[in-house]
Structure 1
Amino acid sequence: MKLGFIGTGNMASAIMGGIISKGVIPADEIIGADLFAPGRERVKEKFGIHVTADNNEVVEKADVVLLSVKPQFYADVISGIKDKIRPDQIVITIAPGKTLSWLAEQFGKDVKIVRCMPNTPAMVGEGMTAACPNEHMTEEEIEYVKTLLSSFGLVEIVPEKLMDTVTAVSGSSPAYVFMFIEAMADAAVLDGMPRAQAYKFAAQAVLGSAKMVLDTGKHPGELKDMVCSPAGTTIDAVRVLEECGFRGTIIDAVQTCAEKSRSL
């Protein structure tokens, strides 16, 4: 087995799906452990991977181990596998707030660790993942991990001091965007548009706008100005957003999220 998952929830499934669909690692070289039988059977049926209820079986059979359990379970999970972790293995973590130093302390020995923060759009192959390797990772190993992570979206290496910021600006932000889409759709429904159609119009507008930022390389403000005709409809809507503190509210929300991540 090349790749092992401890935890087979939604994020693990998104990562598995990307890796398998891109042909990075075949399903028969992936193993997932989960104490929750329906969870592991779901990924077995969906992806055709090997599954087990034993975390140590994953460690024994995998070259790369991805910890995809909730942050509050990390200490217990690491305690149960640390003696089995080999010097040549790579451990990938996706828990907010769990620093490289904290992880090293839990393992109690030199371990190759990459701290990551993906987001839920990974489930549709459009994730944004930040990765931060520790000092035991080689450049070749870092590139390999980037290949794994890029199978379900974009990935960038960032300094660890930015990981809480990443949690706020991409890890948690899909929730803010979903709220924005829902609010725009509600307004369209209020104006007479059928709800299903309203969701499609609002979601596609967000998708297309995000793609314009990435593909054109233009400043978001410049792209906004392109839509705002003199004395037009859009600039009037922008005025209302500014009067209601739209940008300030978003900034406050992102900063609050980052602070909460630091406190975990």
Structure 2
Amino acid sequence: MGVSQVFASASDDKFSLVDWHSGRTGSPLIDDALTYLDCVCEARYEGGDHTIMIGRVVDFGRLEGSPLTFSQGRYGIMLDHPEVAGNARDQRRIERGLDELPFLTLIAKAHYKEDADLERWRSVAGYTPVGSKVLAGLHQSAPLTADELARGMYLDRREVEDSLNVFLADGHVALFDGHRFALTESGNQRRRQMIEYLSRYQGEQLVDIDPADLTVATRVLKGFLAGPDQQCGGLHIADHAPGVGTNFIS
């Protein structure tokens, strides 16, 4: 997008502001451009205040990637048409036998898939599951002890302590009264970065889902989660860690 903005600007020497290399004809080719045509001029025609140039292609190239678009004053990216994307999703759904599964099993499978995908994303982004929850817990209510964090975020106390020690060493948390922890400005910045990454991750995960379908699914899940607490042998499932209910579904 930056290259496009440079060439849409009023700069007198636009090529000095981008990286480029010489093509076969000596013409400048912009580095990492998805497509290029290297031409020699065959003819020129006057067209009002423009000069129309006809080129003969002597070299061309193409790289993999998503092309940039510009419409109605805004930049965008190319996506599959909803009908094409829908057909691909339908085919995968049929191949995986998802149409035969009951609602609660689908929720469980979605939870496991999302948990695995999120774990891979966290690893790439440099976040651990425990560390992410510790940052979130301290942001919601601080200062907290390690025990309070472990109980409030449904985490193992030793894992919480290990994470807090790492954050202390990195300057992301501060210790108060010898046993309570709170986020520092660095920790708050780390959490904001995590939120930005999560937002980007969610966008990537949901990019090919129709917004109308997503709205309906969100409403259904909210209604399901807002339903009455269930009991199983005297155990209030809602009083325990998120995800406990899915353990009863094969």
- Name the TM tier (shorter chain): under 0.3
TM-score by length of 2: 0.24
Please state which structure has a larger fraction of its residues in helix: 1
Please state which structure has a larger fraction of its residues in strand: 2
